[in-house]
Each structure stands twice: as C-alpha cells, then as structure tokens.
Structure 1
Amino acid sequence: MTSPDNRVVLTIEEAAQRLGIGRTTMYALIKAGQIRTVTIGRLRRVPTFCLDEYVRSLLSDPTQLNRAA
C-alpha cells in the first residue's frame, strides 16, 4: 500500500493528519476556501500541492507568524 507521503491526492482525513489538525478544522478550511480540493468521481480529495500552498499562504501573512516575545 502506498503511504500518504507518496500520493498526489489525499483524503480529507489524511490531509488533516498531514497538517496536524483535526478533521473538523480541515473541513472548515476547505469550506472557507483556504484549502482547495478536487472531485474525482464522487470523492473529494486534497492535492498535496494545495496543502503546500496553504502553508505558504500562512507564512506570507504577517498576522499568522508566531513571534517570540
């Protein structure tokens, strides 16, 4: 079986696990349009590059950066 790290698309649960967030949070990010998905047949999947895009967007938003006090 192929590990999630080698696949081009992930299930919602696998994508959430890869980001280290919960499933509910993942669905909220998708609904808000912050993470893009694709539909394959009747299945919704998250392309791995969309996770990378999301993390890059967090890094480019100064309000998302944690600053050591």
Structure 2
Amino acid sequence: MNSQPVQVPQGDLRASTPKLAFTVDQACYALGLGRTTVYELLATGRIKGIKIGNRRLILADGLRTFLANIEEDP
C-alpha cells in the first residue's frame, strides 16, 4: 500500500480553466438569446454543438465563430 499523502491542487481549478462547452441554458445567458433561438441556430448549423446521450452541449469555439460571423444591422 502506498503511504504517501495525495497532493490536492490548491484553489478552484474551475475558476482558472476556461469552459470548452456550454449547456443550452448557459449559451442562452452568454449570448443574451432565448432557448428557441439557440435551438434554431443549432438546427441550422449556425452554432456548432454536440449531443452526448440526451444532453446537448454547445462548443465554446462554436459560440465564438458564430459571434465573429454575425453581420451588424444597419
């Protein structure tokens, strides 16, 4: 049996690690859009997402690309 103590990282790792994916609700909050709009953007492929089981995740890079490609209204 190993008798050495386990080294636990100090601080909250979640605070220093950028998110790679968001839930639909988190993406709605980040974009300031409603759930229906975000699901439409996913369905049309304007935002990239993945599905794991019943859970839909929206990739952070997909959100950045979407925002970079939006044309401004006159």
TM-score, length-scaled by structure 1: 0.72
Greater gyration radius: 2
Q: Which of 43, 65, 72 is the aligned partner of 1:65?
A: 72
Structure number with the higher helix fraction is 1
Aligned counterpart, 1:29: 41
Q: Would you identify which runs of 4 or more consecutive aligned residues in structure 1 move more than 6 Å?
A: none
- How many residue pairs match? The answer is 61
Secondary structure in 1 matching 2:45:
coil
- Taking the TM superposition and a 5 Å limit, the aligned residue runs for 1:19-58 are 19-58=31-70
Structural RMSD (CA): 2.1
Identity of aligned residues (%): 27
